[in-house]
């Protein structure tokens, strides 16, 4: 027992030092928040954004922090059929502005500063989405770049367009290109930005020069702004490079609300069943300040103008929705909820307010898939995460049924836990973190899981 206590004390001291280092990073834990895309697509306006943010603020004690306006805030008419009809708004230096008809607090050139201040007053952080690059119309007008002697044509890389967005040229890897991003990020920092999602940059195509330029521009502002790269799949071979500059990067194409999609174009749309292998591939790159991102949680009510398909309650079954939330939590992935918070159903709210499951995502020390599984675990996945140091490293286990039919699993915890890293911590009970029920940890387990269902436990001592 003395050796056990001594081992825990030593580990506590080492972990405390590590946690101090983590606290100095920009994103020491996986970012948690809400993004408008899954429910509103291009159409979010100030009234709806404030309404969703107020609901999020009511759950900030659970860790929800970032409220993010996704694509289209600079479009006067997001329902327009083409670029001209959408009517982008930008200023005399070629920087996009929120449109006053949709964001009235931006009137008089205030931009998002009043809205950002309001978000901060709710105890939350403010984020926006952009598509990388410089608007083609700005280049055509050859507008001056603020704070420099350059003009837009000097900064444009006209060969680097986005294949699914015809509004922008790329930004050249030149002093002029850096000056354009510097002016952009200075503007956003002045608005009080805390989070920026940059699209068409980590894949379709991969633009490492612009990733570096944006990160450098953020650094120059002196403001801590989380950089999230999109879409995926970011290639594994680029992992070290993106980790130098970004805190989040997408590891899959756009993820939507189905276990499996029958019709796809490449990876799009990416189903929940596909996420298990993809998240496992990226597991070794998860660390404080770097969070591979399997995309938002398309749960709850997706409307009034979702980024894909028609208005709907998420197509997931409740078991699938719980499985998605559990997988994201046990793998320490960013938790960015996508559903309309003003129409949040009780089940979705119960997931978003489960402190113990969220603690797995935010506080566990490490996590990984368990590969040496007992007989009878065909098409079943298991993940293990280590609990915070105060729990002496007693593990969490999440068990997932990937079958299209129910399964009953028979096992002992010792068959899953492997060697106890933190000392001789005997398992006396296991707590189901979704419902609080406890089962004896030293007895054989019979676990029934529905199709695509899951369970998550923490093993503990008496």
pLDDT at 2 over 50: no
DSSP H or E stretch at residue 229: strand 226-229
Residue 238 lies in a domain: yes
Same domain flag for 139 and 277: yes
Cβ burial, residue 47 (10 Å; 0-12/13-18/19+): exposed
Q: Please name the residues in contact with 252: beta carbons below 8 A apart, sequence gap of 6 or more.
A: 232, 233, 267, 270, 274, 275, 278, 294, 295
In percent, how much of the chain has pLDDT > 70? Answer: 91
Residue 288 lies in a domain: yes
Q: How far apart are CA 115 and CA 111, in angstroms?
A: 8
Tokens in use for 198?
């940059």
**Three-state secondary-structure class, residue 193:** coil
Same domain flag for 359 and 377: no
pLDDT at 268 over 50: yes
Give the CATH number of the domain where residue 145 resides. 3.20.20.70
The residue out of 334, 363, 392 marking a domain boundary is 363
Same domain flag for 261 and 392: no
Question: Quick one: average pLDDT of 252-265?
Answer: 97
Give residue-wise pLDDT tens across range 111-120.
999 999 999 9
Same domain flag for 413 and 278: no
Same domain flag for 283 and 380: no
Same domain flag for 347 and 443: no
Question: What is the CA angle 49-52-56, rounded to 5?
Answer: 130
Q: What pTM did the predictor assign?
A: 0.93
Give residue-wise pLDDT tens across range 126-135.
999 999 999 9
Same domain flag for 372 and 301: no
The residue out of 333, 363, 393 marking a domain boundary is 363
Residue 18 lies in a domain: no
Average pLDDT, the chain: 92
pLDDT at 16 over 50: no
Same domain flag for 170 and 99: yes
Same domain flag for 396 and 358: no
Residue 171 lies in a domain: yes
Residue 255 lies in a domain: yes
HSE, CB side, 13 Å, CA atoms: give it for residue 297. 28
Same domain flag for 110 and 196: yes
Domain that holds residue 140: 31-363
Assign residue 91 a region (left: φ > 0; alpha: ψ between -120 and 50; beta: otherwise): beta
Question: Quick one: average pLDDT of 188-210?
Answer: 97
What was the pLDDT predicted at 461? 56
Residue 22 lies in a domain: no
Give the CATH number of the domain where residue 424 resides. 2.60.40.1180
Q: How many structural domains is the chain composed of? A: 2
What was the pLDDT predicted at 416? 85
Q: How far apart are CA 13 and CA 196, in angstroms?
A: 35
Same domain flag for 355 and 446: no
459 contacts 426 by C-beta, under 8 angstroms: no
- How does strand 291-293 pair with strand 248-250? parallel
Same domain flag for 279 and 420: no
Give residue-wise pLDDT tens across range 411-440.
998 888 655 444 455 667 899 999 999 988
What was the pLDDT predicted at 256? 98
Residue 353 lies in a domain: yes
Q: Please name the residues in contact with 117: beta carbons below 8 A apart, sequence gap of 6 or more.
A: 192
Residue 21 lies in a domain: no
443 contacts 316 by C-beta, under 8 angstroms: no
The residue out of 363, 393, 419 marking a domain boundary is 363
């Amino acid at each position: 027992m003395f050796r056990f206590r001594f081992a825990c004390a030593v580990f506590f001291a080492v972990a405390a030092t590590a946690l101090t280092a983590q606290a100095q990073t920009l994103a020491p834990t996986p970012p948690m928040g809400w993004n408008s895309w899954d429910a509103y697509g291009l159409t979010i306006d100030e009234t709806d954004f404030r309404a969703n943010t107020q609901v999020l603020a009511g759950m900030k004690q659970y860790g929800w922090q970032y409220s993010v306006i996704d694509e289209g805030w600079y479009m006067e008419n997001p329902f327009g059929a083409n670029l001209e009809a959408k009517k982008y708004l930008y200023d005399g230096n070629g920087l996009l502005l929120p449109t006053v008809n949709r964001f009235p607090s931006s009137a008089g050139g205030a931009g998002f500063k009043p809205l950002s201040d309001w978000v901060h007053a709710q105890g939350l952080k403010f984020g926006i989405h952009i598509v990388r690059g410089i608007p083609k119309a700005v280049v055509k007008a050859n507008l001056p770049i603020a704070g420099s002697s350059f003009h837009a044509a000097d900064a444009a890389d006209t060969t680097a367009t986005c294949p699914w967005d015809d509004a922008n040229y790329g930004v050249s890897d030149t002093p002029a290109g850096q000056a354009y991003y510097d002016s952009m990020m200075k503007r956003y920092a002045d608005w009080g930005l805390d989070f920026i999602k940059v699209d068409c940059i980590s894949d379709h195509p991969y633009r490492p020069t612009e990733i570096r330029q944006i990160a450098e521009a953020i650094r120059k502002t002196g403001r801590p702004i989380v950089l999230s790269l999109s879409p995926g799949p970011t290639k594994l071979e680029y992992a070290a490079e993106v980790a130098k500059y970004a805190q989040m990067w997408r590891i899959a194409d756009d993820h939507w609300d189905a276990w499996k999609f029958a019709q796809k174009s490449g990876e799009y749309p990416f189903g929940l069943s596909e996420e298990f292998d993809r998240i496992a591939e990226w597991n070794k790159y998860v660390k404080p300040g770097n969070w591979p991102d399997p995309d938002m949680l398309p749960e709850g009510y997706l409307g009034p103008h979702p980024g894909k398909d028609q208005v709907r309650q998420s197509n997931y079954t409740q078991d699938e929705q719980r499985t998605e939330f559990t997988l994201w939590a046990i793998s320490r992935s960013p938790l960015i909820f996508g559903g309309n918070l003003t129409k949040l159903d009780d089940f979705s709210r119960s997931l978003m307010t489960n402190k113990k499951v969220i603690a797995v995502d935010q506080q566990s020390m490490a996590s990984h898939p368990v590969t040496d599984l007992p007989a009878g675990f065909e098409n079943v996945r298991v993940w293990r995460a280590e609990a915070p140091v105060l729990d002496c490293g007693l593990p969490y286990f999440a068990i997932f049924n990937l079958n299209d039919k129910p399964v009953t699993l028979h096992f002992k915890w010792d068959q899953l836990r492997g060697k106890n890293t933190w000392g001789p911590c005997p398992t006396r009970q296991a707590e189901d973190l979704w419902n609080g029920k406890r089962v004896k940890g030293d007895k054989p387990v019979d676990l029934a899981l529905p199709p695509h269902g899951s369970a998550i436990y923490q093993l503990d001592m008496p």
